[in-house]
Amino acid sequence: MSLRLGDTAPNFKAQTTIGEVDFHEYLGNSWGVLFSHPADYTPVCTTELGRTAQLGEEFAKRNVKVLAVSVDPLDKHQGWVNDINETQNTTVNFPIIADADRNVATLYDMIHPNASATATVRSLFIIGPDKAVKLIITYPASTGRNFVEVLRVIDSLQLTANHSVATPADWKHGEDVIVVPAVSTEDAIQKFPKGVKVVKPYLRYTPQPDL
Cβ neighbours, 10 Å, residue 177: 23
pLDDT in tens, the chain (211 residues): 588 999 999 999 999 999 999 999 999 999 999 998 877 888 999 999 999 999 999 999 999 999 999 888 889 899 999 999 999 999 999 999 999 888 998 899 887 665 555 555 678 999 999 999 999 998 887 888 999 999 999 999 999 999 999 999 999 999 999 999 999 999 999 999 999 999 999 999 999 999 9
Domain-wise residue ranges, the chain = 13-144, 163-206
The answer to whether residues 141 and 38 touch, using CB atoms and an 8 Å cutoff, is: yes
In the residue annotation, 45 being an active-site residue is answered as: yes
How deeply is 86 buried, as exposed, middle or buried, from its count of CB atoms within 10 A (0-12, 13-18, 19+)? exposed
- Cα angle: 172, vertex 178, 181; to 5 degrees: 150
Q: Exactly one of 34, 45, 188, 196 is catalytic; which is it? A: 45
User: Which is it for strands 165-166 and 177-179: parallel, antiparallel or unpaired?
Assistant: antiparallel
CATH class of the region 163-206: alpha beta
Q: Do domains 13-144 and 163-206 have the same CATH topology?
A: no
Contact 99, 17 (CB under 8 A): no
Answer left, alpha or beta for residue 173, where phi above 0 means left and psi between -120 and 50 means alpha. Answer: beta
Fold of 13-144: Glutaredoxin (3.40.30)
Q: pTM for the whole thing?
A: 0.92
